[in-house]
Structure formats: structure tokens, C-alpha cells
Chain A
Amino acid sequence: AQSVAQPEDQVNVAEGNPLTVKCTYSVSGNPYLFWYVQYPNRGLQFLLKYITGDNLVKGSYGFEAEFNKSQTSFHLKKPSALVSDSALYFCAVRDGGYNKLIFGAGTRLAVHP
């Protein structure tokens, strides 16, 4: 069965510092991986995805993610964090056909001024 794990419940970063939100996955076959962000009381917003190709994927709002097949990881990164990046971040993997997604438990990112 497909699964993703987000090992950190919360990540705290100072504004202007680089940030990393971790995700590891377990899939059979080639993984389709996604990152979403959720602001309070809002739906999920798509940030980026890895399907195939370059291991470094660039997405919205200056975020990027690095696919690492040997470590089965897909960590989300940003070179310089903003206070407005504070939100709940979800990693997800496609599960079988019909593009069903399995989500990690989420990581709360807190960026402090």
C-alpha cells in the first residue's frame, strides 16, 4: 500500500532563514508526489508535484522540492522563509488509478519575525 510520512509535527523557522519540511514515501512503482498548503479555515492549495524528470521541482510562492529516490524522500524547501508562509503543509502520494491521493499527517510551519 502507498503511504507518506511527515515526521515533524511542527517546524519553527526564523524569518529570512531557509526552511525544510520533510516527507518520506513508500510506494510500489514510480511515485507521483505532491505538496499542498492549507491556511486556517481554508481549503488546500496546490504547491508543486513530481511526476518524472528533474529531481528538483519548483512550485508556487518560491517553494521547491527535491525528489530523492534512494532515500524515498520528497522534502519541501524554501531559501528564505516569510512570516506569511506560516501554515499547515501536506505531502501526498497518488494511490493507484483515478488520481486518489493519500496524505501525510501534515506539518505545521511557524515562521517567527
Chain B
Amino acid sequence: SQTIHQWPATLVQPVGSPLSLECTVEGTSNPNLYWYRQAAGRGLQLLFYSVGIGQISSEVPQNLSASRPQDRQFILSSKKLLLSDSGFYLCATRGVSSGNTIYFGEGSWLTVV
């Protein structure tokens, strides 16, 4: 079965500072990878998805970017954080063996102060 690792689990960053959240997946190869953001403990919004190394699709215009330097590594970044970037960031994957099911990591809490 596949395992999703996200780090850091919690992050407090000042406005204007850079951001790097990392996600790695084990137990599958060539997975689809996704970044979701959950604001205010409720709705989830898809930010980026990737179907392969170097292939990134953005779902919404924003202050964030994503990269996939390796098959099972997905990174969420920002050059200058805004207060509105605060939220719970979830990495997710659909592996080859999981059919149509998307599985989520444990998330990274970002507070911009």
C-alpha cells in the first residue's frame, strides 16, 4: 500500500518569507500527485496536480507554485508569503494500484504572521 509523507507538519512564517512544503510518496510508481488547501477547517480547494516529473497544472491563480523534481516527490513553494496563504495543506496521490481512489497525507499547517 502507498504511504504519503508530508513535512513540516506545522510551520509559522512571517509575511514576505519563502515557503517550501514537501510531500513524498512510497509504495507506488508514476503516481498522480495533488496539492489541496483547506481554509478555516472546512472546504478543500485543489491547487495543483501533476501526472509526471516536471508536469504541473495549476487550478487557481495564486501566490504559490509547485514542482515535481522526482517521480514521487511534490513540492509546494512560495517566494513571498501572504497572510491569506495560511491554511492546512494536504498532499494527495492516486497510485497505479489504487484505481480511482485518491489518498491523502496528514497535512501541513501553515500560519503566516
Contacts and interface: CB of A to CB of B under 8 A. Distances in A.
Interface residues of A, number: 23
A43 B107 contact: yes
Given A51-B100, A99-B100, 19 more contacts: A34-B101, A34-B102, A36-B104, A42-B106, A42-B107, A43-B4, A43-B105, A43-B106, A43-B107, A45-B104, A88-B41, A88-B42, A90-B44, A94-B100, A98-B57, A99-B32, A100-B49, A103-B44, A106-B43
Query: At the interface, is chain A mostly helix, strand, loop or mixed?
Result: strand
B51 interface: yes
Contacts of A49: 100-101
Contact of A99 (B90, B94, B104, B109): B94
A43 B102 CA distance: 12
Contacts of A106: 42-43
A46 B101 contact: yes
